[in-house]
A and B are shown apart, each in its own frame.
Chain A
């Protein structure tokens, strides 16, 4: 036995320092995380950090700036265009999210029934989602054109319900709602398909049990579908809010923030000021101003997504 112990000890000492280093768990963890860490640093932390830094400087294109503290934010606070863009973003996100969820849930419920050509319909629903945003934005631009709009054509020339063509994008409020309509159209597939996946996990036996318990269609929706769908609804809602809040392409392609800056969202205004306007510091400050809103949305999801008691496992508390 002593011999065996000695042999084992000897074997231990014969290992090189490199082998021992790689057997050391903290070192191994560090080594394995290094590639991911590098990617995150270069492509996420650096741009984000640079953006935040720029927000506190007076950098312009072609001129390195100086640290000026909160001056950018102070001037934005008194900038009516910026304030309008904040309200626009909140309105855009709020109305579009309600529209997307209302219509998306309705569509999901329809598609969950037995319909002829069900798979074909489900595939068609995805079309707005798979078309590149800029392409659909150009299509909407055409639809909203003051002279060639198909909607105006149908209302005026075909149905004769109106005398004049509609000026969709020429005045602030019609322009805002036109953009919201385009965003809803584009966002519905994501909501509908996600919720449809959630609906299909609900056991049909639950509906049958509810039917025998005396529930009518509304009560079955209210007491079975909705609570069972809540977890996935919360995830989809969070993602949808984040996507809508940071939306850029639709607005920039259809109105460029016009008319007279009345449809700017924070994202489009940040770009407008920073790149074509050259005021990198100010543009970055607008972008940074979005962060508190996004953090709030994320916190909401963090608490709303917390597993409900009935979803928990075998705990007997």
Chain B
């Protein structure tokens, strides 16, 4: 196991720069998830850690060693690919044993490690099968088994769950997290799914257009998004964002509705801003603002309601059961202790 340091790393294809100086410190044994929309450079960054892409500028260290010019096979890392990349002409056992066979490890050791990995992943009965004879989830497990057998310094996962159906994805999410808690190997995991990031990571790195927008523990990012991008990206359903102006008596939206807000700098009156309220932070209050119910989606434990207030649609989640029908008015107010204000021009948190 080892720590990974990424220092001012840049990547350019010809004159197009895709990663503009990224700094990330990954502690020994940490589970870090790089998350962001398609094309944000997260997969490229992962492939640079793996050594499958050249590093245009900056420095990547695995443990104490700078690996910029170290070929992939000497970096002591294992990677799980999105399409699994299992060798189709080898059985499950051979797939997992391949790296050790190349290293000419003794057969007894190979068998022991393969059996151990198969035991951890529940692949014991599938060792003689070929990848074609396996289901998606089983192939995913073999790909992980291949990584475990290596006992590497760092695990790299490149969107490993995106080819699985929704139910299996939830199951594998738990399995990967459990596996990490058991093996405690440093892990870098790339996904575009913020739910995967929230549920699995020790630390989330939100990337966008080749830069790091914010980095931190999942709940830190959720509670204190540094900017509008992170605020909108993290959380499902996503945060309600209202454009408007900060006034002495609250936040005035473009629709002319005045919302109460929490603490903000005294000198910010009159400043153009965006207010963010998470759906579960909107409360029912008979003395609150009137809002027209547009859609009601009862989930059982909670009720998701889309309301229209001052010409803008807001998503709310209530623990209470809602009896109002679409078209009727309910009265709401934000929990002012957890509202967010962002500068309209820069998107930065105020």
Contacts and interface: CB of A to CB of B under 8 A. Distances in A.
Interface of A: 203, 205-206, 208-216, 219, 223-224, 227-228, 308-316
A212 B73 contact: yes
Given A208-B85, A214-B102, A227-B89, A310 B130 contact: yes
Contacts of B129: 316
A212 B88 contact: no
A272 B79 CA distance: 64
Most chain B CB neighbours (cut-off 10 Å) among A210, A312, A315 = A210
B89 to A, nearest CB: 4
Interface in B71-110: 71-73, 77-79, 81, 83, 85, 87-90, 98-99, 102-103
Given A208-B81, A212-B78, A228 B89 contact: yes
Interface SS majority for chain A:
helix
24 contacts: A203-B85, A205-B85, A206-B85, A206-B87, A208-B79, A208-B85, A209-B79, A209-B81, A209-B85, A209-B87, A210-B87, A211-B52, A211-B73, A212-B52, A212-B79, A213-B102, A214-B103, A215-B102, A219-B102, A223-B87, A308-B89, A310-B88, A312-B133, A316-B133
B133 A215 contact: no
Contact of A309 (B77, B85, B87, B130): B130
Contact of B98 (A208, A223, A316): A223
Given A209-B81, A310-B130, 7 more contacts: A209-B85, A210-B87, A214-B103, A219-B102, A310-B88, A312-B130, A313-B132
A135 B73 CA distance: 51
Given A223-B87, A308-B89, A315 B133 contact: yes
Interface residues of B, number: 27
Contacts of A314: 132-133
Given A311-B132, A312-B132, A214 B99 contact: yes
Contacts of B98: 210, 213, 223
A215 B88 CA distance: 17
A106 B103 CA distance: 27
Contacts of A312: 130, 132-133
B102 A205 contact: no
Contacts of B72: 208, 211-212
A208 B52 contact: yes
B50 interface: yes
Contact of B81 (A205, A216, A308, A309): A205
Contacts of A308: 89
Query: Which 9 residue pairs of A and B lie closest in terms of their CB atoms, listed nearest first?
Result: A213-B99, A205-B85, A209-B85, A214-B73, A227-B89, A310-B130, A310-B89, A214-B102, A211-B72
A213 B50 CA distance: 11
B127 to A, nearest CB: 14
Interface in B202-226: none
A306 to B, nearest CB: 15
A313 B98 CA distance: 23
A209 to B, nearest CB: 4
A127 B160 CA distance: 45
Most chain A CB neighbours (cut-off 10 Å) among B50, B79, B85 = B85
A188 B103 CA distance: 36
Most chain A CB neighbours (cut-off 10 Å) among B50, B78, B88, B103 = B88
Contact of B87 (A224, A311, A315): A224
A310 B87 CA distance: 10
A305 to B, nearest CB: 16
A308 B91 CA distance: 13
Contacts of B87: 206, 209-210, 223-224
Contacts of A205: 81, 83, 85
B150 to A, nearest CB: 8
Interface in B43-72: 50-52, 71-72
A206 B89 CA distance: 11
A217 to B, nearest CB: 11
A313 B130 CA distance: 10
Interface string B132-175: 11000000000000100010000000000000000000000000
A316 B83 CA distance: 22
Nearest to A211: B72
Nearest to A209: B85
Nearest to B88: A310
A309 B129 CA distance: 10
A124 to B, nearest CB: 27
A309 B130 CA distance: 8
Given A214-B102, A227-B89, A310 B83 contact: no
Contacts of A223: 87, 98
Nearest to B50: A212
A230 to B, nearest CB: 8
Contacts of A212: 50-52, 72-73, 77-79
Contacts of A219: 102
Contacts of A315: 133
Nearest to A308: B89
A310 B130 CA distance: 6
Nearest to B130: A310
Contacts of A216: 73
Contacts of A213: 73, 98-99, 102, 146, 150
Nearest to B135: A314
A215 B73 contact: yes
Nearest to B79: A212
A192 B85 CA distance: 26
A193 B88 CA distance: 23
A180 B211 CA distance: 61
B142 to A, nearest CB: 12
Contacts of B81: 205, 208-209
